[in-house]
Amino acid sequence: MEKKGTMLLHKYELGKLLGQGTFAKVYHARNLKNGQNVAVKIIDKEKVLKIGLTDQIKREISVMRLVKHPNVVQLFEVMASKNKIYFAMEYVKGGELFNKIAKGRLKEDAARKYFQQLIAAVDFCHSRGVYHRDLKPENLLLDEDGNLKVSDFGLSALIESKRQDGKLHTTCGTPAYVAPEVINKRGYDGEKADIWSCGVILFVLLAGYLPFTDKNLMEMYRKICKGEFRCPQWFPLEVRKLLSRILDPDPITRITLEKLMANSWFKKGFKPLPISKIDCNMPSSSTPCSVLDFPGIIELDSHGNKEEASTSSSMTPTTLNAFDLISLSPGFDLSGLFENDKIERSPSRFTSLESASSIVSKLEKVAMTENFKVKKKDGKVEMQGSKEGRKGQLSIDAEIFEVTPSFHVVEVTKKAGDTMEYLKFYNQDLRPSLKDVVWNSEGTDHKLQ
């Protein structure tokens, strides 16, 4: 439906279509305020829901917030309407590295430069607990100065995606670039899997073709799992030795990024980026993948007008990221897809201009009046019934989310117990008791949703 000249929120003017996939299109666009060229990715919500890619979109936003690096495509802001999600991203006009390779293999110095920039970006991502999992020349872009930019974090994983065995288990990626341990489906180290893909890319840069290839996919997988590849005669000896360390089918003995970056061939002419050009704000060690402050998310109301909202244990409220805010709107409510009993399981939400401590204090007062035991942890107030009988089995969570320091969203959910008893408590005790902390924007009763 989008066409050239279309205005988005009076902020961006769409230009030509740059590319499209199953559920998204990417356009060249211009920021009307400062004239900056950007790329706008337009995602169809309905298709996202049908395909089941909600978590992937959420993850992609979270990941792109964490990896602010000169060799990674930057996400500027996220916008949403009833039917679409919009990513405003850095416009990289040089196209894909793949197009350069398609014209023939690269000279050693050029290949090394791109490989150095790739490894610098991947190393930074790993330091933030992010594993790309789909590194290939098609996902590496070049800017107007010929510098490499890693893009497409749709298949990436965050460090908390690891299971109890400390490994990732989702099989994903592009067959020719995927590591053998990913194929084997026994769990894998995201860092080692990315290193393997980088090795395949280095081979392709210097050779102009893939190290592992076969018309039969299973035979190609066999070659990958055995590490069967042969370097062309024009490969320098140092490169051959390095590739044998990177494309080692055993992830335990495969070279680490630290040792790779200390390699003499890799270090030749390598100039680490000055610290001033890298975002060094680290998430806390306890939450390595927390989403950092994010520019205002812009949503369209039913009339197409824009509305802006910004985002920003003792009892610390959870900070909402851009996708969290989108998902709170009725147009992107996913609960009906997964819950058979929406009354029983769907959370109720309300907004408040009170401080988090004031909201918690009111919740505690209600809980004490009704003889509930209270536990506070990580932005959540857990209320457990202590009376005998049905109410004693009730378990209720009230989670507080900070949108801004002076604006909060509270989500109340029944965890356990009788549904009718919960609804009785919720409607007769909890909701009336919270009236004075619920935001009343126009002087009328603002009901809990």
Residues carrying an active site annotation: 134
CA dist 308 and 254 (Å) reads 48
State CA 33 to chain mean position distance: 27
Q: Nearest Cα to 116, choosing from 260, 285, 309, 327?
A: 260
- Sequence letter at residue 133: R
State CA 269 to chain mean position distance: 33
CA dist 85 and 49 (Å) reads 12
β-strand pairing of 148-150 with 84-90: unpaired
DSSP class of residue 53 equals -
Phi, psi angle pair for 247, to nearest 5°: -90, 45
Q: Give the DSSP H or E segment for 100.
A: helix 97-101
Q: State the DSSP string of 162-226.
A: --TTS-B----S-GGG--HHHHTTS-B-HHHHHHHHHHHHHHHHHHSS-SS--SSHHHHHHHHHH
Q: What tokens does 168 get? A: 């990732």
The label of the residue with tokens 């306890």 reads 286
Q: State the DSSP string of 257-293.
A: HHHHHT-HHHHTT--PPPGGGS---PPPTTSTT----
CA dist 64 and 77 (Å) reads 10
Q: What tokens does 208 get? A: 């102009």
Residues 6 or more apart whose Cβ sits within 8 Å of residue 436: 362
CA dist 62 and 55 (Å) reads 10
The answer to whether 364 touches 373, Cβ cutoff 8 Å, is: no
List strands edge to edge, sheet with 75-80.
Answer: 7-8, 12-20, 24-31, 37-44, 84-90, 75-80, 297-300, 306-309
